[in-house]
Amino acid sequence: MKKVQYLKIMAAAILGISGMFALQPGTLTGEKLTATVYANGEDLSVFENSGKYIKKEDDGLYCVDQDGSPDVRCAVHYFDHFAVDGKVLDGYYYHDESGRLALEGGIHYVSRMRCQGQLFDGYYYFDEQTGSLSSGGVTVQGLTVETDGKIKELVKPGTDSLEKKLEELLNGFEGQWSVYVKDLGSGEQFSINNQSMTSASVIKAFVMAASYENMDRLRVQEGTILKAEPLSDTVLNKLYALTENMVTFSDNESFNEMVRLQTPSMQFNAGARVINRFLRGQGYQETAVLHTLAPSSTEPVGLGGSNTTSVEDCGKLLESIYRGECVSEEASSQMLSFLLMQDTRTKIPGGLTDSITIANKTGENDSNQHDIAIVYGDRTDYVLCVMSENGGTEETAVSNIRMISALTYYALNW
């Protein structure tokens, strides 16, 4: 039978999970042992010595116990020029509960673990090129890496620690900033500086929700315009395209048209009143459609003032979509699909890796930079809404949103 070769880690460098002790540190060697496992995984031969072993799988290298089972406790290991699978591991490396060595690097939380004389307690950055512990610098999200690899801005997991850190961070930013965070698993939430602000294109998410509530009316209106049956493919395809252009691609004229379609008069102000009644009925206290959006082919018209919303209203809307409670489960699913396809991914998504699924809607103008998102994390999903006004240059404001995004993700998904 075909055999799979294992490599021995002599007296594994520290193992543990959050809040637990680790084993005494030891050294790692690249010595190859004769220990084998059958290809079908039925039996593992007896190892010559105790300790941990490196196992090569199709998707990477795994730390395993004597019986061949993955080491399911978070661990930091120290390798001294350890040669395996054409690689040379040199330094500190991390693996999570799956046992897979995180050779792609990243930010990882380690709690009270000692390895090779170094105490690990906090968030650490492992280089994304080598996978080994970094010795200082700045991450792509703008987070400070200290000489021991620790992330300066991240302290402890959880919303309490995150709220304090974000308050400190926002106080140092230029302009006005609002943030809302809700852990959709635990229900824990907080907001900082919640207030009514100019919504920019974030208002389009609310118009999407109102349009699904009034969809029968919109089908009739669009059918009249196109001289087609309300439930015909012609009408349905047109409404789909308008919604996609408005939300996914943030087209202003599609927004203006969707507002007009709310009433038989096809007047923007009349449609805005219908939408605002829906918003008030849903409890969105700081959100209102008050003006057309530009640039567009529509002449400017409105009820007075700019469109407004707040981070708490945005968070409430996103949670209702996430839970399938916005208008209906089917409508929520369709709305979520438009958010998942969002064209602009430079803000909240820009602070995270591409592998993380995010449904978001951005908004920006000369004074404002916003992004609202549902983030599907490894440990928990959450809502993050960030709004800013006069927050410096576009580059500065967007960079700040990315940092907020990174801090939030790792505080909740450690």
Q: For residue 69, report the phi and psi dihedrals to the nearest 5 degrees.
A: -80, 145
Query: What Rg value do the Cα atoms of the chain yield, rounded?
Result: 26
Cα–Cα dist 188/182, whole Å: 6
Q: For residue 312, report the phi and psi dihedrals to the nearest 5 degrees.
A: -70, -40
Runs of H (alpha helix) within 282-328:
311-322
Q: 159-412 adopts what CATH topology?
A: Beta-lactamase (3.40.710)
Residue 35, amino acid: A
CB of 145 closer than 8 Å to CB of 125: yes
What pLDDT is attached to residue 293? 97
pLDDT per residue of the chain (414 residues) written in tens, 0 to 9: 333 444 444 333 333 323 222 222 233 333 332 233 322 333 322 223 336 778 888 888 888 877 778 877 788 888 888 888 788 888 999 988 888 889 988 899 988 888 888 889 889 999 989 999 999 998 887 889 999 999 988 878 889 989 999 999 999 999 999 999 999 999 999 999 999 999 999 999 999 999 999 999 999 999 999 999 999 999 999 999 999 999 999 999 999 999 999 999 999 999 999 999 999 999 999 999 999 999 999 999 999 999 999 999 999 999 999 999 999 999 999 999 999 999 999 999 999 999 999 999 999 999 999 999 999 998 999 999 999 999 999 999 999 999 999 999 999 997
As a whole number of angstroms, the longest Cα–Cα distance in the chain is 84
Residues forming a β-bridge with 385 = 180, 372
Cα–Cα dist 103/125, whole Å: 12
- DSSP percent split of the chain into helix, strand, coil, nearest 5: 30, 30, 40
Q: For residue 179, report the phi and psi dihedrals to the nearest 5 degrees.
A: -140, 140
CB of 188 closer than 8 Å to CB of 182: yes
Question: What is the pairing mode between strands 51-57 and 60-64?
Answer: antiparallel
What pLDDT is attached to residue 137? 92
Ordered by start, the domain boundaries in the chain are: 3-145, 159-412
CB atoms within 10 A of CB 131: 20
What pLDDT is attached to residue 60? 87
**H or E element, residue 112:** strand 106-115
Residues forming a β-bridge with 371 = 362, 386
Say which DSSP state 101 is in: B
What pLDDT is attached to residue 51? 64
What is the pTM assigned to this prediction?
A: 0.80
Rounded to 10 deg, the angle between the 233-247 and 215-226 helix axes is 110
- In sequence order, what are the residues at sequence separation of 6 or more whose Cβ sits closer than 8 angstroms to the Cβ of residue 7? 30, 31, 32, 33, 53, 54, 55, 84
The C-alpha angle 391, 392, 395, rounded to 5 degrees, equals 105
